[in-house]
Structure 1
């Protein structure tokens, strides 16, 4: 269990609705669909209705700071089946990076690699009390696109299994390029948080509203809060 799984869920019943992709930048086809992720009749470009309203507000915040820049939506709703597929895919990628194969993997090596995978990826839990954040329709992975329609360099790609994924990885570096990466990450965080989102402490790209992580982060920031999650797993 993650710390935020202690937060109770009282689902408000708000529907998943299609993201108006014409308002944002988007990668097509979807990066996980290209890998063969089993979405079935579901779409990765859906979110709860209120989350879309907040995402539009974040886009407007960005326009005030950087005219003609846009938020790029990398991933949004993710069924648990897709979560499981991507967790297994990430494990395979980590094996490859370590120069290992599953056949020759010792139990200790396997545990170490799984621990690295789960630093980024939520477990594909089917327990209604511990849903993966993206399976609630309340979490979104985003980055920025500049006024030349080029993806802004954040210093590491989305989903990278490395310490560079941590939001403040470049914060204390004297290197000018590193400071540029940090400024880009902070800009993204600023416009998203102004719209009500909270950022995953481990991932510069992951933001949510109304799920367990969002409630937990709000409660941690203010001990007088006792927020609960209003979005649970969508099946």
Structure 2
């Protein structure tokens, strides 16, 4: 059974923050030059070396400010409320967490998560079954990593993503094929770590360096 980010077991994981700074990813991991914790950057750079020739990672988002997280929650919750007007607050929170995490445990806010895809040698995105950030409603559930009926090419590309990022220590959020994290509370729960390595971090307060090229 899929554990969602709204699950109390996630928020129960303690955080022993390493204090690692946010760093900007090199352009070869995507023009967004997303900010992530230094340890996450090192693992992404390692993952990139594990891909076959002609295939590369493209990171489209990393650290997300708290205000941005709240805005996504509010927008998506409103969409769900319109579709399901009789939902209770806890049911709404659970459904919302399939697509966006509660702020207190959000991997992106901790600088621990990336949204990414695969591209070919010409920079064209490979077939992963849906667009990044396709909601469960928009994609009819095809955004789930283990969704069926997405086609052989998409399934093969998802498997490649899993092998590569899994070998670098990342875990996937099963409702979003593009979301991978390391060091956050969800990661800790998934791998059995005693504590998360990264808690919420403020971009302005932390500053941002440069990851190794």
Determine which of 78, 84, 88 is the counterpart of 2:70. Answer: 84
Q: What TM-score do the two structures reach when normalised by structure 2?
A: 0.80
CA RMSD of aligned residues (A): 2.3
Q: What TM-score do the two structures reach when normalised by structure 1?
A: 0.73
- Contact between 2:81 and 2:87, CA under 8 Å: does it hold in 1? no
Distance 1:84 1:134 in 2: 12
The within-5 A match list for 1:1-235 is 1-2=6-7, 3-20=9-26, 22-26=27-31, 45-62=34-51, 65=52, 67-92=53-78, 98=83, 106-108=85-87, 115-125=94-104, 131-162=105-136, 163-170=141-148, 173=149, 178-219=151-192, 226-235=193-202
Q: Tell me the number of residue pairs that the alignment of Structure 1 and Structure 2 aligns.
A: 192
Structure in which a larger fraction of residues adopt helix = 1
CA, structure 1 residues 230+113, in 2 after alignment: closer, same or farther (shift >3 Å)?
Answer: closer
- Contact between 2:165 and 2:171, CA under 8 Å: does it hold in 1? yes
Distance 2:103 2:113 in 1: 15
CA, structure 1 residues 113+158, in 2 after alignment: closer, same or farther (shift >3 Å)?
Answer: farther
Q: Which stretches in structure 1 are left out of the alignment for 5+ residues?
A: 28-43, 99-104, 126-130, 220-225
The Cα shift of 1:197 comes to 1.0
Distance 1:9 1:178 in 2: 39
The Cα shift of 1:8 comes to 0.9
Distance 1:77 1:15 in 2: 11
Distance 1:111 1:154 in 2: 32
